[in-house]
């Protein structure tokens, strides 16, 4: 969840600027404090609770010289948000500074041993044991490289670690189940938990694998394995412009990304739908056979996309189920040689999903990653990868990645089962323009104006729209901070109806899927209890008599209607949050990439 930036450069006056720019590029991940450390003849550390603006106020007006430095944005796990718990952390003598993402599971026993040996701790964090372990090894005569390795050898848990030493122009780093990527530029080397931290400086990257160590200095990098042997690395080129990570004139990243959805869908479909040949094909999956069963594993928004994908496979005659990744255990859930495990993860770094995929790999089943990030841990961990091609998503609340995941899962189910309905293929061609028409004619501001002060919001759907009901409610919760729940429409009367009042608007997803009349029946139930009704529908003539607002969806294939309907829910959630003055791009307590279990 936290963000790391590191720099080993050729111009000593640039380090602080690079680190601060990098932290700004990582703000989207969510954080509650931040800090930087510059190494020269000493180590100068600046850190502060709150947003980057608070850290900037602590920085000196003078240039802080030094060719190597590290920075960090923290999302609290051990210890409350505070100046003293912010990273970087140092040893007793302030000779080494460390930043860390992840959780050190054995920190307490390590801390107790170090305290007994005379070390003094200044924070409540698990991270602070690392610089003290390094200090201890230095006291035993180890070099900087040896001390860093020996300290890491004592850690249990997940981590991405970076360290700098006084009087040393080298940055030391390693990873275990938490992402780190190296950037290779003309003016030096960069290290980060995600590419946006340094994309303005270089698009040439090397993704580190678990257990690898890297040393960066102004002239280059050296990567070794856990035994100290040199590792041959592969460089990749990031195929998006730094401007893609900007707001492009929109008030918020989230709004920009909602409006980027038609383009994202076109990219997802490109080269995969052959309308003339009436087929769907995915080059990266050309050697994958039709599975006997499919297990989807995912979290949050991706889990709702997985629910949608599982229904697609079941309709094509393949047993499929979506599991919350944190609850998936192939040692308990039966798998066999015909089982396929599909991990749906926007970032490709979600800890719970990666753990589930690794469990599937150990069980010997075939795995596919459906992800947005080339070079991500999920992409490297799985046998096959289907990239959703949504481009960078900076807003914490997922929008265009959800639409692209849904689209990719329709493609996946079609490609693996040989489904070639020409009506679906024609609907694919129209989908981006239909999405644009919703964006152009949105009535979201009017709906938000009417219901922004509601006590709670319910979203109901049936069939393929049920997962979108869950996702629509999640968006409302994430950015408005108001209570919202999604339900299968038929379940409304089995308990939740007790909560319906005139101050609980119900958003009803009414689709022409053979179940519209049943959903309208549920609408009548809430209408009879004086609840306002907002209908999101492709059959407006059927639901108009019972709705206070109609948000129309263009006619399309049954499987694609939910992708369009969700745009309305995104826009309404955004408009309510905006009218309430919420922090839309960085909702409280949330992070973009959840890299702890």
Angle between helices 400-417 and 561-579 (to 10 degrees): 170
Nearest residue to 402 (alpha-carbon basis) of 577, 282, 555, 265: 265
DSSP 388-446: -------SSS-SHHHHHHHHHHHHHHHHHHT---HHHHHHHHHHHHHHHHHHHT--HHH
Q: Packing angle between helix 422-440 and helix 261-269, nearest 10 degrees? A: 160
Identify whether the C-beta of residue 370 lies closer than 8 Å to the C-beta of residue 344: yes
CA gap 390, 262 in Å, rounded? 10
Nearest to 303 by CA among 345, 352, 349: 345
> Token digits for 304?
């709702």
Comparing CA positions, the residue from 71, 68, 123 lying closest to residue 92 is: 123
Q: For residue 530, give the nearest of 490, 503, 491 by alpha carbon.
A: 503
The gap from C-alpha 550 to its chain's centroid, in whole angstroms, comes to 32
Contact call for residues 209 and 29 (beta carbons, < 8 A): no
Strand pairing of 506-510 and 483-488?
Answer: unpaired
- Spatial contact of 72 and 34, defined as CB atoms under 8 Å apart: yes
Q: Are 269 and 407 in contact (CB under 8 A)?
A: yes
CA angle 302, 367, 238 (to 5 degrees): 65
Tell me how far apart the alpha carbons of residues 203 and 241 are, in angstroms, rounded to a whole number.
Answer: 9
- What's 52's DSSP letter? H
Which residues are the active-site residues?
2, 592
Q: From edge to edge, which strands make up the β-sheet containing 236-237? A: 43-49, 33-39, 68-74, 3-9, 188-192, 181-185, 204-207, 236-237
């Amino acid at each position: 969840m936290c963000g790391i930036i590191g720099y080993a450069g050729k111009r000593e006056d640039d380090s602080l600027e690079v680190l601060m720019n990098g932290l700004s590029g990582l703000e989207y991940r969510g954080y509650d404090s931040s800090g930087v450390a510059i190494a020269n003849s000493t180590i100068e550390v600046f850190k502060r609770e709150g947003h980057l603006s608070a850290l900037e106020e602590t920085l000196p007006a003078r240039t802080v010289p030094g060719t190597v430095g590290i920075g960090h944005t923290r999302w609290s796990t051990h210890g409350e948000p505070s100046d003293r718990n912010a990273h970087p952390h140092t040893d007793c003598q302030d000779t080494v500074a460390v930043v860390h993402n992840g959780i050190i599971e054995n920190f307490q026993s390590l801390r107790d041993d170090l305290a007994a040996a005379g070390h003094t701790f200044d924070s409540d964090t698990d991270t602070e044991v690392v610089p003290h372990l390094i200090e201890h090894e230095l006291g035993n005569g180890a070099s900087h490289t040896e001390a860093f390795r020996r300290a890491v050898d004592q850690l249990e848990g997940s981590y991405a670690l970076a360290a700098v030493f006084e009087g040393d122009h080298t940055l030391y780093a390693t990873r275990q189940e938490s992402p780190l990527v190296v950037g290779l530029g003309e003016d030096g080397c960069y290290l980060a938990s995600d590419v946006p931290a340094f994309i303005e400086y270089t698009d040439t990257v090397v993704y580190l694998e678990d257990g690898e160590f890297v040393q960066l200095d102004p002239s280059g990098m050296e990567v070794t394995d856990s035994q100290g042997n040199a590792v041959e690395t592969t460089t990749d080129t990031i195929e998006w412009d730094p401007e893609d990570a900007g707001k492009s004139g929109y008030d918020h990243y989230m709004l920009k990304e909602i409006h980027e959805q038609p383009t994202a869908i076109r990219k997802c479909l490109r080269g995969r739908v052959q309308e003339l040949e009436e087929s769907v094909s995915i080059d990266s999956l050309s050697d994958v056979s039709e599975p006997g069963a499919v297990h989807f594993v995912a979290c949050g928004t991706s889990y709702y996309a997985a629910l949608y994908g599982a229904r697609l496979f079941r309709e094509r005659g393949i047993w499929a189920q979506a599991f919350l990744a944190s609850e998936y255990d192939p040692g308990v859930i039966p798998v066999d040689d015909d089982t396929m495990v599909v991990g749906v993860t926007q970032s490709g770094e979600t800890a719970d999903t990666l753990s589930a995929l690794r469990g599937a790999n150990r069980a010997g089943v075939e795995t596919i990653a459906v992800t947005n990030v080339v070079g991500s841990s999920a992409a490297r961990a799985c046998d096959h990868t289907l990239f959703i091609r949504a481009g960078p998503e900076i807003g914490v609340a997922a929008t265009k990645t959800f639409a692209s995941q849904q689209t990719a899962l329709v493609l996946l189910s079609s490609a693996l089962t040989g489904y070639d309905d020409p009506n679906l293929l024609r609907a694919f061609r129209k989908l981006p323009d239909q999405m644009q028409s919703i964006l152009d004619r949105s009535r979201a501001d009017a709906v938000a104006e009417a219901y922004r002060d509601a006590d709670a919001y319910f979203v109901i759907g049936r069939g393929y729209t049920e997962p979108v009901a869950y996702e629509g409610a999640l968006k409302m919760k994430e950015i408005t901070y108001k209570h919202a729940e999604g339900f299968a429409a038929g379940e409304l009367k089995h308990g939740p109806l007790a909560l319906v009042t005139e101050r609980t608007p119900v958003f009803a997803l009414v689709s022409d899927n053979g179940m519209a009349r049943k959903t309208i029946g549920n609408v009548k139930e809430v209408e009879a209890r004086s609840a306002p009704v907002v209908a999101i529908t492709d059959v407006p003539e059927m639901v108009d008599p019972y709705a206070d607002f109609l948000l129309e969806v263009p006619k399309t294939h049954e499987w694609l209607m939910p992708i369009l309907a969700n745009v309305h829910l995104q826009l309404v959630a955004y408009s309510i949050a905006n009218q309430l003055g919420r922090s839309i791009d960085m909702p409280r307590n949330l992070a973009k990439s959840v890299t702890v279990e």
